[in-house]
């Protein structure tokens, strides 16, 4: 564990412009899908995080030619869905996306692979991806339902799969398996999850049919402040399909931007701009929640990259009030809930969060971790099985926060410190490098502008 970092209350308003690192979810898919594609691709904007390094190492191990062309740029020569056997186990590090998407991609290959990970990833459930892939005839074995995962590649058959819980990672694994089966397959989720895979695969020439059952077939509205349609969401495709390589630039990670959005809202007098940010409506739930709490946030869509819209956020300091978080927004805020909890700690009144049991199986039990962090900071909080009640008040600080290996807890604690009465020491700050290398330096820069 690295030494603790002292984060002091902001001495003045936050100001300036932040360009967040490339979106992790999109970058993982850009690498894996182009690795499986026919042809050569150039991907820009790959974040320098440890999770993406795991994905790049993995595809290289399966015979994909990867050439780095500077920071955040890679050329990949795809294998047209025919990979080489890796020389040994594949270490996915801390990346659940790497492990779960690889499970679907490798299930139809003609060799055996073992996926491993660090201590945190090895505690996260893999049965949620093993069980649906079994419907395609895949042979996967997870020790105690967790990593290591043994994948014995085989000829896959088409399937109709209904997921018990909406999950973009599991949905993507199923789609990658379906692309290796002969015939039509469908994956149905109880509600829409992030749709980066559907957008990118369509841009790579894979014909997909989407059914937004809960909205009479109406699709997404390209507005970050409009809640995506509710009800079941189904994706169908006919395999086998080999995607066509795609050059693209990965837009900015809105989950990383969220920490600066909340910091600017909480610190009086702040005006902060975040440029090049992904504004896909399945990722902007936390913006909608903050707006409902009274936050002054503007979003301008400025362009599109491989089907993904991006633009600029302008955030001004605002007074907040507690809200009851709508359950339909939870899937679209799941990664941002720790820092949303910090915003709730600074709001007037009570914020109630329910339907967030998924938080308990992230890098750690984030429901418990957030409650422990807020309690240490002097905020009253009541923990529930699927969420928490946060009683807004004064963030006292003057404590140490141990993120226990969770990058989002470390960064949330730093944001809380800016609005606290006293400094907060964040233990093991380097854990933030999992998603946002240089986060603390960037926070200090906008704090001293």
DSSP for 415-426 reads HHHHTSSS-EEE
Q: Which residue ranges of the chain lie beneath pLDDT 50?
A: 216-217
Q: Coil, helix or strand for 165? A: coil
At residue 353, the pLDDT reads 95
Domain residue extents for the chain: 5-21+251-447, 24-249
How do beta strands 112-116 and 90-91 pair? parallel
Q: Which residue has the tokens 């509600």?
A: 191
Within this chain, domains 5-21+251-447 and 24-249 share the same CATH topology: yes
DSSP character string of 298-356: EEEEEEEETTEEEEEEEEE----B--B--GGGGGGTTTTHHHHHHHHHTSBSEEEE-S-
Query: In the CATH scheme, what is the code of domain 24-249?
Result: 3.65.10.10
Mean pLDDT score across all residues of the chain = 94
At residue 218, the pLDDT reads 52
Q: Is the dihedral of CA 412, 415, 421, 422 positive or negative?
A: positive
DSSP 181: S
| Active-site amino acid positions | 335
b/e string for 109-138 if b means 16 or more Cβ within 10 A? beeebebbbbebbbebebebbbbbbebbbb
Work out the number of other CB atoms within 10 angstroms of the CB of residue 320: 22
Work out the number of other CB atoms within 10 angstroms of the CB of residue 82: 12
DSSP character string of 185-242: EEEEESS----HHHHHHHHTT---EEEEGGGTT----S-TTSPPP-S-EEEEEEE---
- What tens digit of pLDDT does each residue of 235-276 get? 999 999 999 999 999 999 999 999 999 999 999 999 999 999
At residue 70, the pLDDT reads 85
The CA–CA distances, whole Å, from 265 to 200, 319, 329, 379 equal 33, 8, 20, 18
DSSP 404: T
Residue 141 has which token pair?
């074995």
pTM value?
A: 0.93
The rounded distance, in Å, linking the Cα atoms of 221 and 226 is 7
Query: In the CATH scheme, what is the code of domain 5-21+251-447?
Result: 3.65.10.10
């Amino acid at each position: 564990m690295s030494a603790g970092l002292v984060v002091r209350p902001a001495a003045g308003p936050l100001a300036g412009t932040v360009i967040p690192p490339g979106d992790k979810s999109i970058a993982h898919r850009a690498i894996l899908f182009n690795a499986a594609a026919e042809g050569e691709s150039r991907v820009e904007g790959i974040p320098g995080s440890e999770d993406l390094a795991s994905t790049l190492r993995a595809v290289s191990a399966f015979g994909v030619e990867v050439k780095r062309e500077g920071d955040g740029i890679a050329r990949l020569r795809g294998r047209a869905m025919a990979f080489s056997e890796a020389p040994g186990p594949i270490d996915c590090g801390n990346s659940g996306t790497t492990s779960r998407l690889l499970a679907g991609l490798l299930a139809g290959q003609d060799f055996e692979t073992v996926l491993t990970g660090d201590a945190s990833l090895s505690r996260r459930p893999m049965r949620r991806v093993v069980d649906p892939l079994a419907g395609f005839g895949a042979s996967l074995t997870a020790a105690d339902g967790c990593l290591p995962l043994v994948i014995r590649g085989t000829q896959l058959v088409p399937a109709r799969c209904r997921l018990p819980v909406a999950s973009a990672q599991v949905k993507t694994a199923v789609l990658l398996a379906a692309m290796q089966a002969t015939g039509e397959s469908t994956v149905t989720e109880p509600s829409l999850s992030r749709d980066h895979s559907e957008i990118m695969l369509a841009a790579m020439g894979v014909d997909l049919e989407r059914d937004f059952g809960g909205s009479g077939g109406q699709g997404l509205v390209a507005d970050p402040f409009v809640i995506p349609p509710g009800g079941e969401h189904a994706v169908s495709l006919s395999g086998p399909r080999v995607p066509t390589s795609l050059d693209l630039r990965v837009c900015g990670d809105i989950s990383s931007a969220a920490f600066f959005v909340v910091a600017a809202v909480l610190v009086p007098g702040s005006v902060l701009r975040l440029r090049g940010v992904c504004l896909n409506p399945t990722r902007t739930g936390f913006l909608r929640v903050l707006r409902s709490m009274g936050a002054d946030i503007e979003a301008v869509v400025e362009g599109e990259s491989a089907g993904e819209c991006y633009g600029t956020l302008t955030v001004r300091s605002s007074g907040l009030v507690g809200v009851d978080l709508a359950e339909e927004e939870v899937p679209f805020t799941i990664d941002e809930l720790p820092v949303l909890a910090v915003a709730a700690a600074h709001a007037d009144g009570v914020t109630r969060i329910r339907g967030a049991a998924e938080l308990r199986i992230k890098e750690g039990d984030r429901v418990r971790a957030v409650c422990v962090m807020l309690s240490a900071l002097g905020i009253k909080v009541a923990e529930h099985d699927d969420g928490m009640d946060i009683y807004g008040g004064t963030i006292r600080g003057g404590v140490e926060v141990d993120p226990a290996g969770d990058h989002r807890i470390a960064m949330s604690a730093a944001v809380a410190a800016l609005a606290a009465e006293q400094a907060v020491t964040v233990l093991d700050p380097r854990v933030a490098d999992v998603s946002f290398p240089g986060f603390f330096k960037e926070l200090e820069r906008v704090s001293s502008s």
